[in-house]
Every structure is written in structure tokens, then in C-alpha cells.
Structure 1
Amino acid sequence: MSVLNRLRPLLTHVILLAVAFFYLFPFAWMLGSSLKTPGEFFTAGLQVFPAEAQWHNYVDAWSKARFGTYFLNTFLVAAGSTLMLVLITSAAGYTLARTTFPGRAAVVAVMVLLFFLPGGYTVIPLYDLVTRLGLLSTLWAVILVITAGSIIYNTILFSGYFTTLSRDVEESALVDGASTPVIFWRIALPQATPMIATVGLFHFMYSWNSFFIPLIFTLGNPKLRTLAVGMQAFVGENQTQWTWICAGAAMTIVPIMLLFFFMQRYFVDAIAGAVKG
């Protein structure tokens, strides 16, 4: 029995390493393939490391395959929608958590019902609304639609987080004559930094990787394609340049990985705060 207890940690680490290998190998192969020649891409099989690194693949993908334009479009969509979402949902969540108004229960009930509405059912009316507003084939259309689709869920998250915060400082400020908007901006919102970072991180990742919405609302203007749409279109237009596609995929994934790496502390703090509350 003692021998089994000694081997159990070793077996656990071996299993975890095997699982990690299967998860990480496709990513490592993609990075290695982005540095191969077109011929080596097909002849090297599952070999990760290239015979000689072709760094110009990234330059070619950035300029010739227009991944530079796609990257900029993706960043504008992700950053714009994330900023807009955080501002809207934090204010709405604080209102639900701290104020009482007629019909509040009905508002929450409608929000919950709309949360379970499949997104595919709203594409046609959204397309018609965007067309009537004259925003079709613009990045503003993508930003607004992606933001709107995430408002309910993140409003509920902010509302739950603000509920866990102490009201003592807010009540003191209210007695001193501070208005509700001032209390929200100067007291409540700074305390919600972990939740802001969590909501912002996940929505930025969602917007960055979004495919369906950018495809629908930028279909008439290829110059407005995001990375996800641009890579899919590039596969159909240039079947032989797989090394460029791997380079573009690396440029798509690496920024998100770095963002999560630097912001994971805030994510952990938000989860810990929610559990504590």
C-alpha cells in the first residue's frame, strides 16, 4: 500500500504531462509550420521544427496576405466592443444591485428569458436594423452587434459582484451629498477592478475570435475582414500558401495568450471575491 501511495503522484504527473502534450502539440506544430517552406510543409509530416526557419513567412502573411489589415480590424472590433460593453454592463449591473425601482423584477425576468434566446434567431432583424441605420459593411456594425449580444450575461455578472461589496463607504458618500453617478464612478467602479478585468478579458477573447458576426456584417467589403474571416477566405483563395496561414494563425492566437497571461491575476481575484461573497 505504501508503494502505491508513493507511485500515485508520479502516475498523476505522467498522465497530466501526456494530456498536456496532446493539447500543446497542435499549437507547437502550427508555430513550427509557420517557419517552414511550402515544400517542407507537406513533406515534413508531423515534424515540429523546420530545417531552416523562414521568418519571412510572417512578413509575407502580414503584407501580401493582408493579415496586417485583418489584425488591425480585429483589434478595433475587440477593443471597441470591450470598452463599450464594460461601460454599459457595469453601470447596468450597479443599478440592479443598488437601486430599487418599479418593475425591477420584470426587467430581471425579461433579461433572463432573453439570455436563453438563441443568437441565430436575431440575425435577420439585426441585419435589417443595421441596414436601416446605414451601418452595413462597417466596423461599427460589428462592434455594436457583438456588444449587444453580451450585455445581458455580463450585466448579471456585474450585478452579482456589486452585491458582494460593502455599502458602508457608499452610504457615507450619499450622506455627504454625493449623487449616485458620482458614487458609481469614484467608489463602486474602482472596487470592481477584478470583475472589469475578467469581463474585459473574456469579451476581448470572444470578440477577437468571433467569426459569424464579422462575416455577416462585412460581407460586402473584404477590406473590413477580421482575422477569423480573413483566414477562412484566404484558404479558399490561395490553396497552396499553408505556411502563410499558419503564420496568420500564430498572429491570431499569440496576442490572446499574452493578454490572458498578464491579466490572469485579476481573473483569479474576481473568482475569489465571488466565492467569498
Structure 2
Amino acid sequence: MVAVDATSPSLSPARAATVGATPRRRRHRPRRILAHLLILTLGLSWMYPLIWAFTSAFKSKIGMFEDGPSILFSQPPVLGNFAQAWSGADFGQYFFNSVFIAFFSVLGTVLFTAMAGYALARTAFPGRRIIMVVVAVMLFLPRGYTLIPVYDLVYQLYLLNTLWAVIVVQVAGGMIFSTFLFMGFFMTANKEMEEAARVDGASFNQTFFRVMLPTARPMIATVGLFAFIGSWNDFIIPLVLTLGRPDLRTVPVGMASLIGGAEGTNWPVLCAASVISLLPIVIVFLVAQRHIVDAFAGAVKG
């Protein structure tokens, strides 16, 4: 058998590059396999608690403690934990409250932050830099420091123990980061469409709502997803602002109420409630996934 030299003049440049790259690929193949195994191991270790919670939702109390951290079943699966979490623990009402709050929180956050980001990105007015600095400083302010003033403000507005109080506070709390996202998007957006709309006689508001906002769909999906996750997982704000109305509890607050009690904690029911609370986030992420990828791809390209 005759050995083939990658530098032989009888080989084309493409063939020579392929022949020369083959040994190099073989040398790096063990490293790639090791890297893939390491990533797979880390991914499974990260996902294992979620898988364990899902399987534990189908176990009885005795079966859960007998199995320990194992995801296997030593006893037949139990299907009544989800029904008990939904109806017996009044989880259906908590779920409705969370959906109501998350819907209007996402709507308000996207609308107000898009307008604020467009105004900061496209207009020059006195005090613009000061506003941007103040907003940037507030981004690093812990929420615990503002809890008492927020509670007093909600009380003065006669919104205490209402779902609207939670919505207003969540929208206000999510505006800082989302405003910066929209501001960065509109700074890099194409100005030709905006200039063409103004030439056609469109006002500033018409240009924003009819021309610029439709082009920001990837950023709308990204901000909406972040706002939804923040609203759905929020615990301290719904707890404090609806403390006098147990029927206004959200899913995280309702899950906390399942811990303890006279009969102890029913851990399989708590795991079933955790699975139920996780489903909306997974569904929303799957729906908005394509737009989120487009938003990050556009940011990297820009």
C-alpha cells in the first residue's frame, strides 16, 4: 500500500486539506468525547432534582421515604397526589391568582418598558443622562430595602390585599432591567424605517406603535419571558401585600402553606404541586423559544 502525502502535487488543494486534517481530528477525538461526557454528566446532575421531584409526585408517603433519593419505584405509582394538590390544598385558586397576576404584569412590563426604552434611545432631552444613571443605580438596589416604602405606598393607594397591588409592584420592579434591554435594541435598530415613517407624516407615537414596536418581536418575547418567570416565581411581594387575604395567595405562597401543619408535610403532594407550578414556565418558554434565540442572535451580530 502506498502512503499518501498531503503535500503531493497530484492532490487537489481540497483533498490535501482533508488528508492533512484527518490525523488532527483523530488526535482531538478523545478530548471531544471526554468533554461531551463531562457536559452530559453535569447536565444530568443538574436535572436530577427535577426528575426526582417528578417521580416523587407519583409516590406515597411511605414509598417516598423508602426510596430515598432514588427515582425508581419500589411500590405502585400513586395518581391521586395531583388531584389532592389541586383541589384539597386549594391549589386551583392559587393557580388562577398567579395566572391573573402574571398576565397583567407581563403586559404592563412589556408596554411601559418598550416605551421608556424607545424614548431613551431615540430622543435627546434635558436630564436624559441623569435618568439613565438613576435607573442604573436602582438596578443594584436590593428589593428588601424598598419593601417597607412600597407597602406604605400600596396602603395609601387603598390597594392592599388585592391582586392589583401585586401587579403594580411587579411591573414597577421589572421596569429597570427590561428598559435597558429595549433601549439597547432600539439603539441598534434600523433608522431608515423610522425616518420613512416621519417623512410620511407619522407622529412620534405612531412611529413607535406602528413601525418600531412590531420590529421588536424578539425582544418583546425575551422581556415577556423574563417578566413571566419573575412574576410567577415571586414570593415575598404576594405574601406581604395579600397577607390579610389567604384566598389571594399565589402558587409559591400556596406551596409554602403546604409545609408543616397539624399532620405534617405531605411531601408527595408538595412535589405534585411543584410539577404543576413548573408546567406554565416550560410551556411559555417553548412558545417563545424561537423569538428568544433570534433576540440573542441579533444582539451577538450587532
**TM-score > 0.5, shorter chain as reference:** yes
From 145, 154, 170, the equivalent of 2:178 is 154
2:210 is aligned, of 152, 170, 186, to 186
Provide the C-alpha distance between the structure 2 equivalents of 1:43 and 1:115, rounded to a whole number of angstroms.
46
- Post-superposition CA distance 1:76-131 (Å, at most 9, x none): 11111111000000011111111121221222122122222222111111100101
1:153-195 deviations in Å (ceiling 9; x for gaps): 1111101101111111111111111111111111000000000
Name the residue aligned to 1:111: 135
- Out of 236, 251, 257, the position equivalent to 2:276 is 251
Uncovered stretches (5+) of structure 2, i.e. residues with no partner: 1-22
Give 1:22's aligned residue: 45
Q: Which residue of 1 aligns with 2:64?
A: 41
Provide the aligned C-alpha RMSD in A.
1.5
Asked if the contact 1:65–1:244 (Cα under 8 Å) also holds between the matched residues in 2, the reply is no
Which residue matches 1:173? 197
Question: Is 1:269 paired with 2:256?
Answer: no
> Which ranges of structure 1 fall in alignment gaps of 5 or more residues?
none
1:163 aligns with 2:217: no
CA deviations over 1:30-56 (Å, ceiling 9, x no partner): 111101112111112122133322222
2:98 alignment partner in structure 1: 74
Q: Distance in 1 between matches of 2:300 and 2:46?
A: 29
Paired residue for 2:32? 9
| AA partner of residue 102 (structure 1) | P
User: Counterparts of 1:93-242 in structure 2 under 5 Å?
Assistant: 93-237=117-261, 239-242=264-267
Deviation at 1:68, TM superposition (A): 0.9
Between the aligned partners of 1:86 and 1:194, the Cα distance in structure 2 is 12
Give the Cα separation in 1 of the matches to 2:48 and 2:170. Answer: 32
Greater relative CO, 1 or 2 (CA 8 Å, sep 6+): 1
Counterpart amino acid of residue 56 in structure 2: S
Rounded to whole Å, the distance in 2 between the matches of 1:6 and 1:194 is: 37
Residues in 1 aligned to 2:191 and 2:30: alpha-carbon distance in whole angstroms: 51
SS in 2 for 1:236: coil
- How many residue pairs end up in the alignment? 277
Q: CA deviation at 1:4?
A: 5.3
Which 4+ stretches in 1 moved above 3 angstroms? 1-4
Q: Which has the larger radius of gyration?
A: 2
Q: Which moved more, 1:216-225 or 1:237-246?
A: 237-246
Whole-angstrom distance in 2 between the partners of 1:116 and 1:49: 44
CA distance in 1, matches of 2:300, 2:265: 51
Question: Which whole-Å CA distance do the structure 1 matches of 2:54 and 2:28 have between them?
Answer: 39
Which has the larger displacement, 101-110 or 22-31?
101-110
Look up the equivalent residue of 2:273 and give its one-letter code: G
Cα distance in 1, alignment partners of residues 82 and 68 from structure 2: 21
SS in 1 for 2:78: coil
Letter in 2 for 1:245: L
Q: CA deviation at 1:275?
A: 2.1
Question: Which AA in structure 1 matches 2:201?
Answer: G
